[in-house]
């Protein structure tokens, strides 16, 4: 086990805010919010809560924050809870509001960094539930580099007949094609989402929770607990206690989120069949931690790591069913013993990953959710980084193998998500088409909207095995089918995806890791010279500021590149 650095002063930061005559006004203010004399001598721990009743993912996090604060206080420190925003991808999906989703990741990171930096907290517990507030929390913790623990809000219970939010999106497509009645659609709407917690498959929330646990920034099993369970409440209390110990021992995120830790996160994401968003978010978190991580690292690691989990959206099972057989800890132990994970990485327990996994028991006999290494769903990663004349800086495909490994077809081009959905539901998209949705990138969207509405409509219309879809936007973790996102450079910058015309032939080859627009170089150059940028969607406000500062998706769509 790596020995943590000793710390002389667990009040390294808070002392600057509350000690001495000159800080008397600070103490006076804090007395009004409940501090007493003894509290000023304790380490101060910020509890970053993403509570909101605007989404099931976060509606219970106020209680979890109270549990974490109690854990901090029981360990002899002072807890101070503060809030940050969240937005719901599931609610804003398919609307202009989805432009704010990825933007919210940066707002969350900035706000947590701002509060912790301003108030002088000695440590942080960050609690996240929905897709973007989880990486937003981690980006902030990386920037701050103060002792910290992340807590996942937990997964939702499945709805009736194992339905979830993706079932609703696909039912819309089924209704458009006539196979789902209005009454059936209403029943799905009313029963798919029964209460608190994040979406129930291996979508982005559960993917990121698992990646964060694999990286060592949350306690063992934090990623695999139901939102409304006693286990999740206990997890929060333990996190509060754990962060106080990290403060006293001087263990910081930079001791945990190392290059090896990010590789562990990639390995577990692949084995679980996780969301393409993990690529974007892990690149961004690594950037904040000053760890050099690139798109090609996903290819290098992905060549040797198999997909083992039969989880939704492309598989059969929900996260709750994985929780019931032991979560991701037995999987991680299997991967460690097979040499896929770095066992010497430090974690927020204060012990190494190998130490944490030492006493983990295997999955029960007969379970079908996690396959053996000898019988994988796919022998190498489902996250395939593609290059070619259509994506010189790269694109990210989610190909489990069920969709096939190659696709060639004629482009059906749409300049926005709304237009594509009209085309799909209206019957313009036919078998053999490659649907191209562009001007949805980080800058062009702006905000790189997720294409769950179009992919859900495609699946619902029965075209999932008959068409491919490429975009400079993103995909929800709930998307499945032959889909390629993050195409870079994006259309708004004049990337080759902006030059595609309906009828052009496009090939996608997961084996060769290539995406090709079949026109000659001279024609591509002619189109490029005639291309003109579109008018920006926003000229002022959060979207405009984001568009001016955001980097390429191939770099994680970060907003603080050093110049």
Distance, CA of 147 to CA of 504 (rounded, Å): 53
Residues contacting 515, CB < 8 A, separation 6+: 386, 387, 388, 390, 391, 395, 470, 484, 487, 506, 507, 508, 509
Distance, CA of 487 to CA of 483 (rounded, Å): 11
Burial class (CB in 10 A: 0-12, 13-18, 19+), 12: middle
**Residue pLDDT tens, the chain, 563 long:** 455 555 559 999 999 999 999 999 999 999 999 999 999 999 999 999 999 999 999 999 999 999 999 999 999 999 999 999 999 988 998 889 999 999 999 999 999 999 999 999 999 999 999 889 999 999 999 999 999 999 999 999 989 888 988 899 889 888 988 999 999 999 999 999 999 999 999 999 999 999 999 999 999 999 999 999 999 999 999 999 999 999 999 999 999 999 999 999 999 999 999 999 999 999 999 999 999 999 999 999 999 999 999 999 889 999 999 999 999 999 999 999 999 999 999 999 999 999 999 999 999 999 999 999 999 999 999 999 999 999 999 999 988 877 788 999 999 999 999 999 999 999 999 999 999 999 999 999 999 999 988 988 898 899 988 999 999 999 987 777 789 999 999 999 999 999 999 999 999 999 999 999 999 999 999 999 999 999 999 999 999 999 999 999 999 999 999 86
- The values of phi and psi at residue 134, to 5°, are -75, -55
Give the containing element (helix H, strand E) for 506. strand 505-509
Q: Tokens in use for 427?
A: 């019957």
Which residue's structure tokens are 């079908």? 368
Residues contacting 196, CB < 8 A, separation 6+: 56, 57, 59, 60, 153, 154, 156, 227, 228
pLDDT at 1: 46
pLDDT at 8: 59
Using omega within 30 degrees of 0 as the cis cutoff, is the peptide bond preceding 145 cis?
A: no
Instruction: Decide the pairing of beta strands 44-49 and 383-388.
Output: unpaired
Adjacency order of strands within the sheet including 123-128: 78-83, 44-49, 123-128, 148-152
**DSSP letters for 292-317:** ---HHHHHHHHTTPPB-B-BTTTSSB
Cβ distance 99 to 244 under 8 Å? no
How many helices (H) and strands (E) the chain has is answered by 21, 12
Cβ distance 270 to 382 under 8 Å? yes
- Compute the Cα dihedral for 247, 253, 258, 261 and give only its sign: positive
Catalytic status, residue 476:
yes
pLDDT at 215: 98
Q: Which residue among the candidates 167, 223, 476, 488 is catalytic per the annotation?
A: 476
CB atoms inside a 10 Å sphere around CB 117: 14
Between the CA of residue 162 and those of 131, 171, 206, 322, 353, what are the distances in Å? 21, 14, 16, 13, 33
Beta strands in 44-194 (DSSP E): 44-49, 78-83, 123-128, 148-152
Q: HEC string of 385-441? A: EEEECCEEEEEEEECCCCCCCEEEEEEEEECCHHHHHHHHHCCCCCCCEEEEECCCC
Distance, CA of 51 to CA of 59 (rounded, Å): 6
Between the CA of residue 36 and those of 24, 41, 247, 524, what are the distances in Å? 13, 10, 21, 70
Residues contacting 210, CB < 8 A, separation 6+: 202, 223, 224, 268, 269, 272, 274, 328
* Alpha helices, DSSP H, located in 33-132: 61-74, 89-92, 100-119
pLDDT at 6: 55
Cα–Cα–Cα angle for 538, 541, 544, rounded to 5 degrees: 45
Distance of CA 257 to the CA centre of its chain: 16
Give 505's strand partners.
410
Distance, CA of 190 to CA of 168 (rounded, Å): 10
Which residue's structure tokens are 């919010």? 33
């Amino acid at each position: 086990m790596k020995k943590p650095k000793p710390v002389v002063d667990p009040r390294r930061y808070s002392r600057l805010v509350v000690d001495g005559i000159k800080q008397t006004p600070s103490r006076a203010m804090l007395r009004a919010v409940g501090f007493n004399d003894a509290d000023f001598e304790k380490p101060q721990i910020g509890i970053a809560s993403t509570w909101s009743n605007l989404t099931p993912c976060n509606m219970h996090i106020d209680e979890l924050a109270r549990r974490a604060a109690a854990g901090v206080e029981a360990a002899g420190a002072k807890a101070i809870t503060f809030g940050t925003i969240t937005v719901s991808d599931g609610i804003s999906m398919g609307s202009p509001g989805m432009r704010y989703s990825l933007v919210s990741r940066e707002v969350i990171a900035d706000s947590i960094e701002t509060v912790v930096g301003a108030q002088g907290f000695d440590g942080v517990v960050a609690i996240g539930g929905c897709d973007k507030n989880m990486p937003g929390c981690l980006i902030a913790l990386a920037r701050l580099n103060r002792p910290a623990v992340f807590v996942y809000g937990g997964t939702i219970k499945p709805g009736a007949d194992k339905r979830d939010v993706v079932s609703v999106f696909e039912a819309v497509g089924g209704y458009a094609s006539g196979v789902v009645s209005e009454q059936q659609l209403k029943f799905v709407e009313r029963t798919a989402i029964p209460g608190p917690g994040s979406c129930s498959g291996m979508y982005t929330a559960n993917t990121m929770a698992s990646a964060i646990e694999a990286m060592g920034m949350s306690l063992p099993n934090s990623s695999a607990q139901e939102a409304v369970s006693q286990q999740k409440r206990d997890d929060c209390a333990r996190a509060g206690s754990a962060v106080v110990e990290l403060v006293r021992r001087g263990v910081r995120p930079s001791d945990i989120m190392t290059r090896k830790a990010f590789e562990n996160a990639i390995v577990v994401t692949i084995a679980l069949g996780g969301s393409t968003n993990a690529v974007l978010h892990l690149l961004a978190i690594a950037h904040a931690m000053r760890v050099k991580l690139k798109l090609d690292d996903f290819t290098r690691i992905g060549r040797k790591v198999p997909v083992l989990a039969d989880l939704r959206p492309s598989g059969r099972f929900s996260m709750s069913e994985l929780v019931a057989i032991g979560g991701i800890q037995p999987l991680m132990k299997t991967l460690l013993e097979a040499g896929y994970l770095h066992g010497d990485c430090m974690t927020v327990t204060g012990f190494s990953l190998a130490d944490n996994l030492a006493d983990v028991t295997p999955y029960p006999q007969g379970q079908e959710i996690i396959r053996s290494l000898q019988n994988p769903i796919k022998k190498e990663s489902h996250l395939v980084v593609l290059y070619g004349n259509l994506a010189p800086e790269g694109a990210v495909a989610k190909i489990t193998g069920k969709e096939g490994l190659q696709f060639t077809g004629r482009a059906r081009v749409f300049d926005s998500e709304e237009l594509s959905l009209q085309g799909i539901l209206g019957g313009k998209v036919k078998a053999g088409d490659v649907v191209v949705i562009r001007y949805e990138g980080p800058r062009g969207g702006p905000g790189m909207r997720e294409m769950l509405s179009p992919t859900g409509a495609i699946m619902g219309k029965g075209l999932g095995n008959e068409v491919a879809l490429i975009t400079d936007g993103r995909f929800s973790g709930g998307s499945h089918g032959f889909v390629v996102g993050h195409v870079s450079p994006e259309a708004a910058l004049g990337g080759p995806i902006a030059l595609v015309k309906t009828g052009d032939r496009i090939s996608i080859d997961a084996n060769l890791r290539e995406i090709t627009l079949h026109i000659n170089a001279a024609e591509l150059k002619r189109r490029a010279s005639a291309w003109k940028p579109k008018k920006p969607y926003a000229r002022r406000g959060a979207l405009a500021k984001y568009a001016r500062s955001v980097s390429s998706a191939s770099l994680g769509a970060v907003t603080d590149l050093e110049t």
